[in-house]
Amino acid sequence: MNYVLDRFEGDFALFVGDDESILKLNKQDFLAYREGDVFTLESERLIFIKELTDLRRETVRNRFKKLRRG
């Protein structure tokens, strides 16, 4: 299952899963990442997936471009 880093809140990093589940983990372990980064859960560890992160960001950029054009 994949998770997206949704936000930092206090001492926690909050992740939203494909199934809308929430993971609340120690912020200090994810300071090198930013909101919107995509991870997969393997052996009880979150692993960063650059390719999915890049694809997700490009998709969001394209949606905003379409909205601006009206």
User: Which secondary structure element, helix H or strand E, spans residue 39, and what is its range?
Assistant: strand 38-42
pTM: 0.88
Question: What is the model's pLDDT at position 16?
Answer: 98
Q: How far apart are the first and last CA of the chain?
A: 35
Question: In this structure, how many other beta carbons lie within 10 angstroms of the beta carbon of residue 12?
Answer: 15
Distance between CA 30 and CA 15 in Å, rounded?
A: 11
Residue by residue, pLDDT tens for the chain (70 residues) are 999 999 999 999 999 999 999 999 999 999 999 999 999 999 999 999 999 999 999 999 999 999 998 7
pLDDT of residue 69: 87
pLDDT of 26: 98
